[in-house]
Structure formats: structure tokens, C-alpha cells
Amino acid sequence: MDIRASTVLPARREPIELHTADGLTLVGELALPAERPPVATLICLHPLPTHGGMMDSHVQRKAALRLPALADLAVLRFNTRGTTSERGTSQGEFDEGESERFDVAAAIEYTEFHDLPHPWLLGWSFGTELALRWGRDPLVEGAILLSPPLHRAGDADLTAWAEFGRPLVALVPELDDYLRPEEAIKRFALVPQCEVVPARGVKHLWVGEPSVRIALGEIVKRVNPAAYPLPVEVPSP
């Protein structure tokens, strides 16, 4: 069976709630391998909610639908404050990435309390800025950034991540609307351990199955290299 845009692979999926230090409840979902413990965890930080970003933004949703089965990963997705998806609406209001620091902290704490191994941040667009600004927690193994705009997150955040010392991977679309590979290489030079990966033919929103496969493959290559490359078909049920 070919893996297509609509493919849903087996996993243990459960609705979850995150509780922030400033008293909010955020809604989310945890997807785990169906029959084995996970080898690592992705904490998904979604694109800008004022432009349609949410926990179901398609690349991160497809990570949850595929990677527990294909790469033995736990995938934690949630709506940041004030954000709505089919799962529901998280309490609070969008705060331009400021109070969202508590949302990031709540997700990281959830992985600790539930013994989810080796958490990596997976930020996309606005979510990359949350990762860079608020994700420097000792529990975090590293971060993968999809389409980082480097708008709210600036040089001071990059310098702080360099000092943090954990791996950083920037997947930068060749045709991005905000930051393209040549400029990204210059900006991320402040982080010696950062790997900038140009995504050829890809746009900011990673639309289309070929773009999704590039993103998921590059994620798995860093988080569970033993599962790379990802298959493009699976046995029929």
C-alpha cells in the first residue's frame, strides 16, 4: 500500500491536556507506537494561529499519522493559547509569542511527567520562534525548525541557543516567502552546531506530498536515524 496524503498508520492516539504555569488548559493529542515504546519524542509547535496555524497544520499532523508506525516516535501536538482545531480550543489568548513561553514549558514538562524519551522540538514557522526563544530547557535534546522566518526570534536568541549547545536543524525551503537558504546560512552562522538544510523546490507551507516526505525524512534522520530512509509504502492491512 502506497503512503499517500490521506494515509493513517496504526498508533495509540489519545487526547491530552497541558496545564500552564499561568493557569491555562491547552488541548492536544499524543500519538505513540502501537505496540512498542517510543525511542524519541517530537513536541510540535505549530505555525501562526492568526494565519490558520494549529495542531492540525498538515506537516505536523502527518508526522502524528505516520511516524509512530514508521519511526517508533511519540508525537505530541497541541494548540497554543487561544488556538482552535478539531480537538478543541485552548484557553487564553494569542500573545505574539510572549506568554506562549508557558505553553512550551507545559509541553516539555508533560514529556517528563509521562516518561516520554528524548524530546525534540519540532517548530514550524511561528513555532520555530517559540522553539528558539523558549525551548532552551535541559530536558530538550535538540530542535528542528521548518521554515524559520527569524522574525520574532533574532540574533540574541540564536546566540543563546549556541550557548545552550544542543543540536539545531533548520529546514529552509528554497522558495520560502520569508527566509531562503542563502540568507539562512548567514543568519544561523551564529549557532556553530546548527545544520541548515535547503529544501529544493519547496515553499514556506510545504504543500504537496513530495514536500511532506522531504520534511518527515529529514526529521527522522536526526531523531531516529535507524528508521531512515522512510518507506514510501507499507504492507496492506
Beta carbons of 159 and 144 less than 8 angstroms apart: no
pLDDT confidence of residue 105: 99
Looking at the chain, which runs of residues are DSSP E strands? 12-19, 25-32, 40-45, 73-78, 84-85, 88-89, 119-124, 142-146, 168-173, 194-199
pLDDT confidence of residue 237: 75
- Alpha helices (runs of H) in 167-232, residue ranges in sequence order: 181-187, 209-223
Q: For the chain, how big is the Rg over CA atoms in Å?
A: 16
| Sheet-wide strand order for 194-199 | 12-19, 25-32, 73-78, 40-45, 119-124, 142-146, 168-173, 194-199
pLDDT confidence of residue 62: 98
> Which residues face 42 on adjacent strands?
75, 120
20 in helix, strand or coil?
A: coil
pTM over 0.95? The answer is yes
Whether the upstream peptide bond of residue 229 has omega within 30° of 0, thus cis, is yes
- Alpha helices (runs of H) in 15-86, residue ranges in sequence order: 58-71
* pLDDT tens, per residue, the chain with 237 residues: 999 999 999 999 999 999 999 999 999 999 999 999 999 999 999 999 999 999 999 999 999 999 999 999 999 999 999 999 999 999 999 999 999 999 999 999 999 999 999 999 999 999 999 999 999 999 999 999 999 999 999 999 999 999 999 999 999 999 999 999 999 999 999 999 999 999 999 999 999 999 999 999 999 999 999 999 999 999 887
pLDDT confidence of residue 236: 83
pLDDT confidence of residue 36: 97
Angle between helices 126-134 and 100-113 (to 10 degrees): 70
What domains can be seen in the chain, in order of their start residue? 12-227 (3.40.50.1820)
